[in-house]
Structure 1
Amino acid sequence: MRKWMPLLAVCLGTFMLLIDVTIVSVALPQMTDSLDASFSALQWVVDIYVLVLAALLMALGSLSDLAGARRVYLAGLAVFALASLACGLSTSSAMLIAARGVQGLGAAAMFATNTALLASNYQGRDRGVAFGMWGAVNGAAAAAGPILGGLLTQHLDWRWIFLVNLPVAAVALFIGAKHLAGSATRVDRRIDLPGTLGFTLAATLLIFALIRAGEEGWGAGSTLALFGGSALALIAFLLVERGRRDPMLDLGLLRTPSFATLMTGAVVFSAAAFANLVFVSVWAQSVLDFSPVKAGLILMPFSGMSFIAAGLAGRFLASVPPQYPIGGGLLLIGAGSFLEMFLTGTSGWTALLAGFLVAGIGVGIASPILASAALAAAPADRAGMAGGAANTFRQLGFALGIPAVGTVVSGVIATKLADSGLFTDSDAAAELVTGGQSAAALAPVAEESRGAAQRVIEDAYAAGLDQVFLIGGLVAVVAGVLVLLVVRGSTVPAESGHPQRTADLTTAP
């Protein structure tokens, strides 16, 4: 039993950091009411965590090469726990967003060191078992997030979705400090701070621009300025990376058609499959009047099917050329999205069931192969960077997908509410409805018109989700076809417990 203590320490931390990607989704309506927050602010509660995680993943991987994976992992655990406490004690949306950003820093430190720690603590057959268990825990985190979030929110308070991390982190720290062995360090690596800053700035401004587009419109001066700033930051990032001895991302990799297409597929994979789930949860609670627990449960067919399919794919598709499971998975995600796009104002949650099942299979098929395919598409001396890039682009896809979906949903709802003529300020009402505050949007409406206004809201939210499913399905299908046509190469050789091969079994974004 003692030999599995390092695995337990790593799995506890990984379970927390991944569950915190999805656990927030069912609590958003309660957070909005409790903190009197705007919808755009609540988008940042989800987004800032994933953005920081994505932006710092490769940089903290480099830091772990210098300082040691054990030290960086334990420091990340401590930062994550303190930030979780700050999240639970937040008295304003600004405080919560800031704490979530720090939480993302801790999560990046843990996620960046997982494979190195397991590889250094286990050898031979034990290494294969350890990575297999780690992948299963990752999948379980994706499935459990919405349900655990619903239980804690409904029976305790939304703050407990963060406070519950404290005892888990304490146990993981104790076991990790006592049982984790260190990994080899490298003195020939440097942290690419300019590249990290440029990448973070470009992604942050782009997310700001997408959120602003939903509030002010795509042609608004502030929206265009933010898009322009993001483009300039991206250009600066590319120029900086060209001259770095140890770049965060070797731009030569992106000149390889297979690798560049895989990174595009990774972004689309998370954006198309996961970003809409936040708004499905809000729809279930505010339109269908579901409890947080029930809202979490309706996502189970998706996460459960993806978990099952990921286990089967990892076992039976390992020797299949990567373009087929990844491209096929994206096509199934697209097909699932198309099946979901028939919601009406009178639809129940079962209208999404078939689409959830099909998309879940697609996620499960593509997910275990993405990182190993990136490895196969990169030179051997860039293998670690390629695997880190795959995880980074997946998280980035989710971070960008949230505001993009929010902008589409809010825009459709605003149009429908304005057309009804029942709302004096349709834009303000649309923001309330999109964020799960339908009751507040109905409050100014005359008593005799509230029944009709409620039906307009139900139809409008369904129409907004239908539009999201259509766009997501089209993007996923295009990405799937590109992967099938462009990506070439074989999978990574089947070595027992290869870190990057087995580490990507998670079905989370």
Structure 2
Amino acid sequence: MTKWRGNPWAVLLTLSLGFFLTLLDLTAVNVAIPSMIDTLHASLDEVLWVINIYILALAALLITSGRLGDVRGPRTMFIGGVALFTVASVLCGLSQDPAQLIAARALQGLGAAALVPQTMTIIMATFPAERRGTALGVWGAVAGVATISGPTLGGLLVSTVGWRWIFFVNVPIGAIVLAMAVALVPDVRHGARRRLDVLGVVLAAATLVCLTFALTEGQRYDWNAGIWALLGGAVLLLVVFLVHQRSRQHGEPLLPFVLFHDRNFAVMSFVSATVQVGMLGLFLPVMIYLQSVLGFSALKAGLVMAPAMVVSAVLSPVAGRMADRFGGKYVLMSGLTLFAGGMAGLAWATDVGRAWWEFQPALLVTGVGIGCVFGPMVTVAMYNVKPEMAGAASGVLNTIRQIGTVIGSAAVGAVLQNRLAASLQDEAAKQATDLPESVRGQFVAAFDNAAKGGLEVGAGQYGTAFQPPPGTPTSLTQHIQQTAASVFEHGVVHAMRPTLAVPIVVIAVGAVSCLLVRRRRVDSPRKAQEEVGASG
């Protein structure tokens, strides 16, 4: 394989596989939520931490690892990140309780943070200017395909060999990526040695921890003064972080403000965050609904998403080429509008007793929208970025995107838990009128208290641990169980619509913000090189 070493397309394939690996787990975990709740005896907020701790570690350290790539070399960091991610995947699959899984996922997030920023840095250094847009379009398309293929692959694994294999499957893929990286990826460095902004790293991580904990655990603690204090602390820490970064702009800042002088990079950074809020807003509640309310297996739930995945995969490279040729502004606006519209259609279609095919029109529209977003978004963001700033730009862009994922997961999870708790209480009070008066009060009270102990929404669960009193006739016990199931199903449906409204609104705002993009048209490689030179 020596003759392929440094070949741009072989390098791109290696980097894309590593990048694909880190993003696949992000959405594959969502389809396993009901199974993990059942087998690990976990609550919804505990499983939300399984998702959030991975994103949190990834978001907090992306910029730092981008800087480390400048110091140690992006190839070294990429290889180390893949190795750590692979080992952590084994630990995730072997976890026996929620705490072990959360800890292993944190380690997995560290590995992802080490490798992700290096991918864009190496691409920028490997590809000439006239082909860089296409390469970044492919890289961005990989993000879209990985994100939307996660539920289908995850559903297949959960249904056939169990949820642990969504982590174990990373091992052979990780080994292949390691071998390819050692053999194919060159050592590209710009020679500049940088020092790490340790205080900046601590402030950024503390901000995200406060925000994520408050949003994830808010419902459990009834949004008390402590939760609001954490939210206020997150805002204060963010302000301190930005002031600290401003003081370092003439030195070696963790967040180079100069990147945001380019309007396209600034707008795309915001859009990337809105897209991630949308992705988590789509997969998190929908996967719970398909399995816990409609009773679909994890495989069937994943396959419901498969047509949209295929559409997105086919359109992503096409959209990237269109952005290269005509500019990404209107491609992005169209994609985001379709994304939001598809999710609105999905919210409208949600109800008890639906068939899988009833969701397909809305999901196909969503897939078309997603396919028109990821490639053009990265191409537009990186158009004017100099190669020596690629590490910083990659770290910043990916960090903002993952912050969007953190906020999306936590905020959507918070809304889902809050609305689910309220709707379960309302449904329990409404449907308890059909129960004997002797059990009616206990039945309603059980649903009222469900949120305080952590909502359980695994497949076959009812969101409450209520048990009929000893000696209750079998016929009445069955009637109580049927009523509890009905309360749960209708409660989830009523909670779904306001939950999906959050990402729909956020994506719509992202679409409108694309009006600020400065449209560029590249007619030839020579013109592309001239424009890149002029921007420098």
Q: Smaller-chain TM-score range?
A: 0.7 to 0.9
| Distance of 2:399 and 2:386 partners within structure 1 | 18
Match of 1:424 in 2: 445
Deviation of 1:161 after TM superposition, in Å, equals 1.5
Equivalent pairs: percent with the same residue? 34
Match of 2:433 in 1: none
Match of 2:371 in 1: 364
The Cα offsets for residues 52-79 of structure 1, whole Å up to 9 and x where unpaired, read as 2222222211111111111111111111
Distance 1:401 1:122, change over 3 A: closer
User: Does residue 242 of the first structure (1) align with residue 246 of the second (2)?
Assistant: yes
Query: Which of 407, 422, 427 in structure 2 is aligned with 1:415?
Result: 422
Match of 2:38 in 1: 33
User: Does residue 232 of the first structure (1) align with residue 244 of the second (2)?
Assistant: no
| Distance of 2:377 and 2:141 partners within structure 1 | 16
Match of 1:441 in 2: 464
Query: Which of 293, 307, 327 in structure 2 is aligned with 1:287?
Result: 293
> Are 1:329 and 1:361, in contact at CA under 8 Å, matched by a contact in 2?
yes
| Distance of 2:383 and 2:185 partners within structure 1 | 30
Q: Compare 468-477 and 457-466 and name the one that shifted more.
A: 468-477
Distance 1:383 1:416, change over 3 A: same
Root-mean-square deviation over aligned CA pairs: 3.0
Q: Which amino acid aligns with 1:224?
A: W
Distance 1:415 1:60, change over 3 A: same
Distance 1:253 1:371, change over 3 A: same
Distance 1:336 1:488, change over 3 A: same
Match of 1:483 in 2: 514
> Are 1:377 and 1:489, in contact at CA under 8 Å, matched by a contact in 2?
no
Match of 1:299 in 2: 305
User: Does residue 48 of the first structure (1) align with residue 79 of the second (2)?
Assistant: no
Distance 1:273 1:494, change over 3 A: farther
| Distance of 1:279 and 1:391 partners within structure 2 | 24
> Are 1:302 and 1:359, in contact at CA under 8 Å, matched by a contact in 2?
yes
User: Does residue 18 of the first structure (1) align with residue 41 of the second (2)?
Assistant: no
Stretches of structure 1 that go unaligned for 5 or more consecutive residues are 499-509
| Distance of 1:356 and 1:346 partners within structure 2 | 18
Q: Which amino acid aligns with 1:42?
A: V
In the superposition, the TM-score normalised over structure 1's length comes to 0.88
> Are 1:273 and 1:333, in contact at CA under 8 Å, matched by a contact in 2?
no
Match of 1:326 in 2: 332
The Cα offsets for residues 251-287 of structure 1, whole Å up to 9 and x where unpaired, read as 3555776554433222111102333312211211111
> Are 1:340 and 1:466, in contact at CA under 8 Å, matched by a contact in 2?
no
Match of 2:437 in 1: none
User: Does residue 341 of the first structure (1) align with residue 371 of the second (2)?
Assistant: no
Deviation of 1:106 after TM superposition, in Å, equals 0.9
The Cα offsets for residues 77-129 of structure 1, whole Å up to 9 and x where unpaired, read as 11111111211111221121111111111112221111333455666999888
> Are 1:340 and 1:351, in contact at CA under 8 Å, matched by a contact in 2?
no
> Are 1:73 and 1:113, in contact at CA under 8 Å, matched by a contact in 2?
yes
Deviation of 1:215 after TM superposition, in Å, equals 2.2
| Distance of 1:266 and 1:247 partners within structure 2 | 22
In the superposition, the TM-score normalised over structure 2's length comes to 0.83
Deviation of 1:350 after TM superposition, in Å, equals 3.4
Q: Compare 165-174 and 455-464 and name the one that shifted more.
A: 165-174
1:216 alignment partner, SS class: coil
Deviation of 1:158 after TM superposition, in Å, equals 1.6
Deviation of 1:293 after TM superposition, in Å, equals 0.8
| Distance of 2:105 and 2:344 partners within structure 1 | 33
Distance 1:14 1:41, change over 3 A: same
> Are 2:336 and 2:369, in contact at CA under 8 Å, matched by a contact in 1?
yes
Match of 1:78 in 2: 83
2:509 alignment partner, SS class: helix
Query: Which of 156, 176, 181 in structure 1 is aligned with 2:181?
Result: 176
| Distance of 2:264 and 2:178 partners within structure 1 | 40
- Flag the structure with larger Rg: 2
> Are 1:305 and 1:361, in contact at CA under 8 Å, matched by a contact in 2?
yes
Distance 1:383 1:94, change over 3 A: same
Deviation of 1:171 after TM superposition, in Å, equals 2.8
Distance 1:349 1:427, change over 3 A: farther
1:96-115 aligned within 5 A: 96-115=101-120
1:444 alignment partner, SS class: coil
User: Does residue 154 of the first structure (1) align with residue 177 of the second (2)?
Assistant: no
Match of 1:204 in 2: 209
Stretches of structure 2 that go unaligned for 5 or more consecutive residues are 430-442, 469-476, 529-536
Report how many aligned residue pairs link the two structures.
495
> Are 1:154 and 1:293, in contact at CA under 8 Å, matched by a contact in 2?
yes
Match of 2:62 in 1: 57
